A and B are shown apart, each in its own frame.
Chain A
Amino acid sequence: QSALTQPASVSGSPGQSITISCTGTSSDVGSYDLVSWYQQHPGKVPKLMIYEDSKRPSGVSNRFSGSKSGNTASLTISGLQPEDEADYYCCSYAPSRSYVVFGGGTKLTDL
């Protein structure tokens, strides 16, 4: 069981928007603005998409956005494109555990 809870899968159609949730606790997600999100295509390396809850690295499409409310962080992808089909993982600073913890991953399908 992963430290952060994500839905196993989310489906969407091209052009739609989807949101992936990531639920932690008041000791990690809820206490620090240090949630990051990663995209991973099959057999590929994880790619940083969002850091510090809502900041987007240079080169990442503005269709990707991050937010947080309480102990739950969210990744929203707008204007879905076929290449967005991938696994998405959240990650949070968690000093009460092993410094940093990951979610179990969410598979975005049906694109």
Chain B
Amino acid sequence: QVQLQQSGPGLVKPSQTLSLTCAISGDSVSSNSATWNWIRQSPSRGLEWLGRTYYRSKWNNDYAVFVKSRITINPDTSKNQFSLQLNSVTPEDTAVYYCAREPVGGYWYFDLWGRGTLVTVSS
């Protein structure tokens, strides 16, 4: 059974960096078919796709335009996990952050989600 286990702090100060990790069990971050995504949800902005990482002979990343200057998603093959870093956060970045699997890259649906991490940006 494939599972995604999220970890990371629930409180981040403004201007600092939000960091979350998603550990994968039952699949591989190096899969040649799946992609590994971060999606967030807030009452004011709804669901927003942030970006993804995937391996196709080499590592690739795609990021949403509205966060492209602030986001990094990295794979960690030694731990079979991937991470999210979002720099220079503001209260607008307060949301529940989910990691999610796109089982077949290019089809843009997400069949497996982590449990979500509520991240509050506040001093």
Q: Which A residues are within 8 Å of any B CB, using their own CB?
A: 2, 34, 36, 38, 45-48, 51-52, 57, 89, 91-93, 97-105
Cα A58 to Cα B109 with chains together (Å) = 14
Option from A2, A51, A57 in Cβ contact (under 8 Å) with B46: A2
Smallest CB–CB gap between B24 and chain A, Å? Answer: 16
Q: Is B59 in the interface zone, CB < 8 Å from A? A: no
CA A34 – CA B98 in complex, angstroms? 21
A34/B108 contact (C-beta < 8 A), A45-B113, A102-B48 known: yes
Query: A99–B109 Cα gap in the complex (Å)?
Result: 12
B65 partner residues in chain A, CB cutoff 8 A:
97-98
| Chain B residues close to A by CB (< 8 Å) | 46-49, 62, 64-66, 98, 107-111, 113-116
Q: Which residues of A contact B98 (CB under 8 A)?
A: 45-46
Interface residues of A: mostly helix, strand, loop or mixed? strand
8 interchain residue pairs of minimum CB distance: A98-B64, A36-B109, A51-B109, A102-B47, A93-B108, A45-B113, A100-B49, A48-B111
B93 shortest CB reach to chain A, Å: 16
> A45 with B114: in contact, given A97-B65, A99-B62, A100-B108 (CB under 8 Å)?
yes
Residue from B47, B49, B113, B114 having most chain A Cβ neighbours under 10 A: B47
Within 8 Å CB of A93, what residues of B? 108
For A52, A99, A101, which residue has the most chain B Cβ atoms within 10 angstroms?
A99
**CB pair B116 A89 closer than 8 Å:** no
Most buried by A among B46, B64, B108, B115: B108
Contact in complex: A101, B49 (CB < 8 Å):
yes
Taking the closest CB of chain A, its distance from the CB of B43, in whole angstroms, is 10
How long is the Cα–Cα vector from A100 to B62 in the complex, in angstroms? 11
Contacts A98-B66, A99-B49, A102-B46 given: A52-B109 contact, CB under 8 Å? yes
Are A34's CB and B109's CB within 8 A? yes
Q: Tell me which of A52, A57, A98 contacts B49 (CB under 8 A).
A: A98
Name the A residues within 8 Å of B66 (CB-CB): 98
Known interface pairs A2-B46, A98-B49, A98-B66; A45-B109 also in contact (CB < 8 Å): no
8 A-B pairs besides A91-B109, A99-B49, A100-B49 with CB distance below 8 A are: A36-B108, A45-B115, A51-B111, A52-B109, A57-B111, A98-B64, A103-B46, A105-B46
